[in-house]
Structure 1
Amino acid sequence: MSAPLLTLYRRMQRWPAGQWLFSRAVCFKAPYFASIAPRITVLEPGRCEGHIAHRRRVTNHIGTVHAIALCNLAELTAGLMVDASLPKGMRWIPKGMEVKYLAKATGTQHAVATPAQAIASAEAGYALPVNVQVRDTAGTVVFEARIDMWVSPVKRG
C-alpha cells in the first residue's frame, strides 16, 4: 500500500492541471512553501522533483534566486520524497540541513531529492540523510543540500 500523499499525487496526475493542483494542495497544508510557488513534477518512492520559476518574489538584491528560496525548495522536495517513501506506521521530521551554494542561480531552478540510504520500517528511530541537487535551465548544478531527517515509528495511544 502506498503512502496517502503518493496516492493523492498519482490520482491528481490524471487531471488537467494536476501538478499545479497537487502543488497548491501541498502549500495549503504547509503554507510557508507557498512563498516560492513550487511545482512538483515527479513524486515516487525514493525520488521527488520540483521546480521554482525565477520571479521577483524569490529574487535577491543581485538578481539571482535567493539562497533561502533554494533551501525551501530543497526542504520541500526532500520532505515529500520521504513522506511518499515511508512504510506505514512511520513518520519523519527534518533535524538539520547542510547546504552548498555552487553557482549563481538564475532562471528556473529544478530540484531532485533522493535518499542517501535505504528507507525502512524500524522499531526505533533512525537518521535518514537525503540528498538534494538543484540545477538551472542550462543544467548547471547551482546548489546542493544534505538534509538529515529523523524517521521514527508513529506513537500509539
Structure 2
Amino acid sequence: MNPTLKTWHKLAALPGGKAVFSRGVCLKAPYFATISPRFEELAIGRAVVRMKERRRVHNHLSSIHAIALCNLAEAAAGLTAEVSMPAGMRWIPAGMTVRYLGKAKGTVRAIATMRDIDPGEKADVPVSVSVRNGADEIVFEAEITMYVSPKKA
C-alpha cells in the first residue's frame, strides 16, 4: 500500500487524526497551509478536502478568492494522484483549467477523482475536481492534468 495512504488510514481512525494528517500535508507542501485544508476522505482515485471561509482567503467581493479555490483543488488532486500511483510511478501537475460558477461562501468541499493508472504508463492524466458549497451547489470546477511516468532508476 502507498505510504501516504497507509498513514491516512492509521491517522483517520484516531480522534483528531484527520486534522493531524492535514497539518502533515501542509508541512510537506507549505503553500497549502494558506488555506488550512482538512482532508475528509482519501482513497485510490478519490479525495474530499474541505476549507472554511475565512477573511484571509477573501477576495474584494467577501467570498473565497479564486486562487484559494485553485489551491484547494490542487491539494485534493495532488493527494489523489499521490495515493493512486502504482509502485515505481511518479506524477507532476502539468496544467489546470478552471471554471468559476458562483460565489464560494461558507465551508466548501473539493471532491477530486481520477482514473486508475497502469504500472509503467506514461501519459497526461486528468484529475477532475468539483468544489461544492454547504447547499451542495457546484461553485468551482477544475481539471488538473497530471503527467504520470515511471520513476527514473
TM-score range, shorter chain: over 0.9
Partner of 2:118: 120
Task: Assess if the C-alpha contact under 8 Å between 2:89 and 2:149 holds in 1.
Answer: yes
Partner of 2:8: 9
- Per-residue CA deviations over 1:96-127 (Å, capped at 9, x if unaligned) read 00000001111111000001x432212x5211
Gaps of 5+ in 1: none
- Alignment RMSD (CA, Å): 0.8
Q: SS of 1:107's equivalent?
A: coil
- Per-residue CA deviations over 1:69-122 (Å, capped at 9, x if unaligned) read 00000001001001111100001000000000001111111000001x432212
Identity of aligned residues (%): 50
CA distance in 2, matches of 1:118, 1:90: 12
Shift of 1:14: 2.1
Per the normalisation by structure 1, the TM-score is 0.95
Partner of 1:29: 28
- Per-residue CA deviations over 1:135-154 (Å, capped at 9, x if unaligned) read 00011100000000000111
CA distance in 1, matches of 2:108, 2:13: 25
CA distance in 2, matches of 1:129, 1:90: 16
Q: SS of 1:70's equivalent?
A: helix
CA distance in 2, matches of 1:145, 1:119: 20
Matched positions, count: 153
Shift of 1:57: 1.2
Task: Extract structure 1 runs of 4+ deviating beyond 3 A.
Answer: none
Matched to 1:98, the amino acid is T
Task: Assess if the C-alpha contact under 8 Å between 2:84 and 2:116 holds in 1.
Answer: no
Partner of 2:139: 142
Partner of 1:153: 150
CA distance in 1, matches of 2:92, 2:57: 25
Report the more deviating stretch, 124-133 or 49-58: 124-133
Shift of 1:15: 1.8
Partner of 1:88: 87
CA distance in 2, matches of 1:53, 1:131: 21
